[in-house]
Amino acid sequence: MFNEQFDGINPAAIAFCATPTDVQRCVGFARDHGITVAARSGGHSYGGYSLSSGLVIDVTRMAGITVGSGSTAVVGAGAHLIDVYDTLGNAGVLLPGGSCPTVGIAGLTLGGGIGVFDRLFGLTCDNLRSVEMVLADGSLVTASPGANPDLFWACQGGGGGNFGIVTSFEFGVHPIPPDISLFTLDFPWTAAQEVLGAWQHWITTIPDALWSNCQLLASGSGFNARVAGVFAGDTGALSTALAPLLSAVPAAPTYRFVGPESYLNAMFIEAGCEGQSVGECHLPTQTPDGTLSRSAFAAKSTFVVDPLSSAGLGAVVNAVTSSQQVAPGVGAAFLFDSYGGSINAVAPSATAFVHRNALAGIQMTANWGSGSEPSSSASWLAQGASDVAPYTSGAYQNYIDPTLSDWQRAYYGANLARLVKVKASVDPDDFFHFAQSIPTTLR
């Protein structure tokens, strides 16, 4: 498990499955003996739901990646993102997805999949073509628009571990753009409200080929307001696109970088693995030369639909500022990801991912050294979420939040009823169950 705060959960057994048949045998054994199960790919569940006191069905040994002769790729459910990007990138194609290198492709895809090329090519789940899955009755099925279409729809944002255990995915992939550019702009904290305010209006005007985030960061070393992003284009066009943002912020950047980059280097930079090999960009438990470390953190999420008012902007900045008093020693952040473009071009009911009207997604994070979450961290997150609630709505199912009360509506909105019907159809006994799994009946 990546998040150290869940190290106290001790499974009765972990089955490292190398084939779909292995998964079928595990599901059958667990059903026959009344054992609870959890599916695990990357082990990044924010709620610890990829662990169980029963049987963990681990699919990381099914991690093969095959690029087809056309515009498709087949990816094993246990593949980590950095391996997906490396293999596809060396074949001249890309799949839009997240930045964390050790996240599993399964959890990312099944819950949506936000990343730096999504405004151009759509969410990871929007690029899904078919999925192979073991159901609760032990059967191995394929879901696609032409076969088991309701299950396929549910796999496009319905969340991991709800309907079965995926063994492989088929994706549509895209040629790597000929030019890719990155940018980073740091601003003094005194301008944080102006930066966020300007950014939220600016992202409504930028081309779909440009993705950006706005990061309001707090740590022991102080505060920082940062705007960064990735552009499928050259640096000249990027500089032109950045000009309105820079002119809208009264303070000059304290740091500015705009530069070209290759696709693979860009993905390694976004993954925090600049200058490292593919093997090094893993945990030591995943590859012999892995250098990454685990962490202990908690998070909450929500969405901005309309630009934040002055009061809303102030609530965000005040929440970040307060972290050093409420939770001293905890690294705190509000991270805004730009939506729009191809993400919002999809109708809310076309896939299970309902959040198609968002201007931006917000991830509120708290990081500490190790072990269970300090009460101060939990207090800060709860207060911060409460402070911005009047200006935001919903929550992102891939940032699953055990403390969220109305999680069913927050994650799935108007798509909840259809997801419940799919769940009742493929798993009527609720075999795949965890604290925030989709139920078989509406409550």
Q: How far is CA 195 from the centre of its chain?
A: 24
Amino acid at 152: F
pLDDT band per the 50, 70, 90 thresholds, residue 122:
very high
Instruction: For 22-70, write each residue's pLDDT tens digit.
Output: 999 999 999 999 999 999 999 999 999 999 999 999 999 999 999 998 7
pLDDT > 90? residue 429: yes
* Three-state secondary-structure class, residue 382: helix
Mean per-residue pLDDT for 146-175? 98
Instruction: For 259-310, write each residue's pLDDT tens digit.
Output: 999 999 999 999 999 999 999 999 999 999 999 999 898 999 999 999 999 9
Out of 13-22, 26-35, 373-382, which region has the weakest mean confidence (pLDDT)? 373-382
E strand or H helix that includes residue 325: helix 310-326
- The pTM (predicted TM-score) of the whole model is 0.96
Residue 11 main-chain phi, psi, to 5 deg:
-65, 150
Q: What percent of the chain has pLDDT over 90?
A: 93
Name the nearest CA neighbour of 188 among 222, 162, 146: 222
Domains, the chain, ranges and CATH? 181-399 (3.40.462.20)
Other Cβ atoms within 10 Å of 259 Cβ, number: 10
- Residue 426 · residue 151 · CB < 8 Å: yes
What local confidence, expressed as pLDDT, does residue 82 receive?
A: 97
Q: Average per-residue pLDDT in the chain?
A: 96
DSSP 37-82: EEEESS---TTSTT--SSEEEE-TT---EEE-SSSEEEEETT-BHH
Taking CA atoms, 142 is separated from 66, 145, 204, in Å, by 18, 10, 38
Q: What percent of the chain has pLDDT over 70?
A: 100
Instruction: For 212-229, write each residue's pLDDT tens digit.
Output: 999 999 998 799 999 999
Its sign, for the CA torsion 342, 348, 353, 356, is: positive
Kindly state the DSSP code that residue 135 receives in the 8-state scheme.
-
Residue 376 in tokens: 């101060």
**Spatial separation of the C-alpha atoms in residues 243 and 183, rounded to whole Å:** 12
Instruction: For 382-392, write each residue's pLDDT tens digit.
Output: 999 999 999 99
pLDDT > 90? residue 240: yes
Mean per-residue pLDDT for 56-85? 96
Beta bridge partners of 60: none
Out of 66-75, 239-248, 349-358, 415-424, which region has the weakest mean confidence (pLDDT)? 66-75
Out of 85-89, 219-223, 412-416, which region has the weakest mean confidence (pLDDT)? 219-223
E strand or H helix that includes residue 367: strand 360-368
**Spatial separation of the C-alpha atoms in residues 168 and 295, rounded to whole Å:** 28
Mean per-residue pLDDT for 360-382? 92
pLDDT band per the 50, 70, 90 thresholds, residue 154:
very high
Mean per-residue pLDDT for 92-112? 97
Exposed e or buried b per residue across 149-171, where buried means at least 16 C-beta atoms within 10 angstroms of its C-beta: eebbbbbbbbbbbbbbbbbbbbb
Mean per-residue pLDDT for 367-394? 92
